[in-house]
């Protein structure tokens, strides 16, 4: 019994498109499933620049960037469904995964040797960040507001408070200002901004938008539509400091409090999740705890740059190719990547020493003049600064990885 496909890619955003294109180039029989009506995913609604600096060596908008992939994908005639929702995944065996997919053509039962999960992320919503008060109209997640403005061409509101200073929040602050809204504040619970410095300058400072660090929105007021928010200073444990409450009148609250890998269907079949990334635990092939199921893009780890997302998509496709050729990933002695001092997350979680590996990591807190150190393999890299907002991308050579016994620690230490 042949499977219907060598690889099924779930998700038609940048990670999924890059994976499908690469898999097709490698000669695999590919199917891509996208649940929206169109291919492209989130970059379609990103009309701001900053995309593709690494991959195309050009500064593109999200829309321009993703269209290059969509065109290439369509030109290659890769089989795909849009408006396709994966209802369930059954990892029947190491060589056969069964999917049930609802599409407007009918309910499909599909078998495949490998699966690339590239479903992206969902946004954290008001109830996850401890917001209390009323639940009126005028509260949006940043992505929803972005879709409203940049896909549907409608304006959410007039007087805006943005919760969270990650890149998404900063970009939306500027977006609202450009359309004549009054952005009253960007509120950040941490003592440092969550987004890239470039965006702090270009999105807030250039528009005179105030940023409140070490502050939290604790309460939303308003019965029909938002009327105001209550903002409080927070201490070093991020707990509100009593007596520091102040009101900001507004009709719109935009929640830009970060993203979470969206893997509902995969979680149901018991894939092992890393509590730090909230994505799956993977080896250097981006293979999850379910053999032959690979993951890439924001479903793996929340990335800063679309270029990294594409890189992960292509790696997942190469891994799927190896899997199909070998009928599995060859057995290896895996070394665990251990998070040392000031490392909040790091993927992949297991390394073999047979391949060069790109590590993606984030620190817990900002530090200046530091060394990124891998003590077991005597590797050190000097860095002028590290900050949680900026993902560290670092390549380890296979001969270095091979030096380690059973673990490789990654840590940030002062540069002395």
Partner 1 sequence: MGRKKVVVVGAGVVGASIARVLSQYNELDVYLLEKNADAGMGVSKANTAIIHPGHEDDPKKYPLRAKLCVKGNRLWHQWVKELGIPAKFPGELMIAVEEEDLKVAKHYLELARKNGVPGVRLVDNEELRKLEPNVNPNAAGALWAPTAGVMASPMAAPALVENAVTNGVKFLPETEVRGIKIEKGEVKGVETNRGFIDADLIINAAGLYSDKISKMAGIDYFTIRPRKGQYYVFDDDATPKVTRILHQTPTPMTKGVYVITEMNDGLMIGPTAEDLPEDAKEDTSTTKEGLDFVWEWAQKLVKELPPKNKVIRTFAGLRPEPPDGRWIIEAYDDPWGFINAAGIRSPGLTGAPAIAYYIVEELIQKKLDIKLTKKSHWNPYRRAFWFKHLPPEKQNELIQKNPSYGNVVCMCREITEGEIVDVIKRMKNMGVQTITLDGIKMRTGAMAGTCQGSYCRIRIARIIARETGIPLWEVSLKGKGTEYGIGDVKVLLRENGGDKNAE
- Binding residues (CB under 8 A) for partner 1: these are 35, 37, 83, 85, 87, 100, 102-107, 109, 122-123, 125-128, 130, 132-137, 141, 143-144, 147-149, 152-158, 177-183, 207-209, 218-219, 221, 223-225, 262, 264, 267-268
Least spacing, CB of residue 141 vs partner 1, in Å: 4
CB of 389 to partner 1, least distance (A): 21
Nearer to partner 1, 203 or 389 (CB): 203
Nearer to partner 1, 179 or 406 (CB): 179
Nearer to partner 1, 353 or 388 (CB): 388
* H or E element at residue 152: none
Buried b (16+ CB within 10 A) or exposed e, 191-203: eebbbbeebbebb
Rounded-to-integer distance, Cα 19 and Cα 363, Å: 28
Asked if 150 and 166 count as a contact pair (C-beta separation under 8 A), the reply is no
**How many Å apart are CA 11 and CA 307, to the nearest integer?**
17
Distance (Å, whole) CA 179 – CA 155: 8
Least spacing, CB of residue 278 vs partner 1, in Å: 9
Is the CB of 122 or the CB of 341 nearer to partner 1?
122
Cα dihedral 47/151/178/228 (nearest 10): -130
Q: Name 416's Cβ contacts closer than 8 Å, sequence gap at least 6.
A: none
Q: Which of 409, 334, 400 is nearest to 372 (CA)?
A: 409
Closest to partner 1 by CB, 108 or 394: 108
CB of 93 to partner 1, least distance (A): 22
Nearest approach, Cβ of residue 349 and partner 1 (Å): 20
Q: Which is nearer to partner 1, 35 or 342 (CB)?
A: 35
Question: Which residue, 327, 268, 273, 324, is CA-closest to 295?
Answer: 273
Residue 354 beta carbon to partner 1: minimum distance, rounded to whole angstroms: 35
């Amino acid at each position: 019994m042949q499977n219907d496909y060598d690889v099924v890619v779930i998700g038609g955003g940048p990670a999924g498109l890059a994976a499908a294109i690469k898999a097709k180039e490698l000669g695999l029989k590919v199917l891509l499933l996208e649940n929206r009506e169109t291919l492209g995913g989130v970059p379609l609604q990103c009309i701001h620049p900053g995309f593709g600096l690494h991959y195309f060596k050009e500064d593109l908008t999200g829309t321009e960037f993703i269209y290059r992939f969509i065109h290439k994908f369509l030109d290659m005639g890769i089989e795909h469904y849009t408006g396709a929702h994966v209802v369930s995944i059954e990892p029947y065996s190491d060589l056969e995964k069964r999917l049930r997919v609802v599409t407007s053509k009918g309910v499909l039962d599909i078998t495949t040797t490998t699966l690339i999960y590239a479903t992206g992320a969902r946004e954290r919503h008001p109830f996850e960040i401890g917001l209390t008060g009323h639940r009126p109209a005028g509260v949006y997640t940043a992505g929803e507001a972005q879709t409203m403005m940049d896909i549907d061409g409608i304006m959410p509101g007039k007087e805006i408070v943005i919760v969270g200073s990650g890149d998404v929040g900063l970009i939306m602050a500027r977006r609202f200002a450009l359309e004549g809204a009054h952005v009253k504040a960007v509120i950040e619970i941490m003592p440092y901004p969550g987004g890239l410095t470039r965006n702090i300058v270009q999105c807030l400072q250039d528009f005179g938008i105030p940023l409140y660090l070490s502050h939290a929105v604790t309460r939303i007021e308003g019965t029909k539509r938002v009327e105001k928010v209550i903002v409080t200073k927070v201490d070093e444990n991020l707990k509100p400091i009593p007596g520091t409450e102040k009101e900001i009148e507004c009709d719109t609250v935009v929640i830009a409090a970060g993203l979470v890998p969206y893997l509902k269907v995969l979680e149901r079949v018991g894939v092992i999740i890393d509590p730090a990334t909230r994505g799956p635990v993977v080896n250097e092939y981006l293979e999850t705890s379910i053999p032959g199921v690979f993951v890439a893009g924001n479903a793996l780890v929340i990335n800063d740059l679309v270029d990294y997302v594409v890189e992960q998509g292509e790696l997942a496709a190469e891994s799927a190719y190896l899997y199909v050729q070998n009928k599995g990933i060859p057995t290896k002695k895996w070394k665990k990547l251990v998070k040392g001092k000031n490392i909040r997350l790091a993927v992949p979680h297991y390394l073999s020493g047979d391949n060069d590996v790109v590590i993606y990591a984030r620190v817990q807190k900002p530090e200046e003049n530091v060394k990124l150190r891998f003590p077991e393999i005597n590797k050190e890299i000097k860095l002028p600064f590290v900050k949680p907002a900026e993902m560290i991308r670092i390549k380890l050579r296979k001969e270095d990885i091979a030096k380690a016994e059973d673990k490789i620690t990654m840590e940030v230490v002062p540069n002395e």
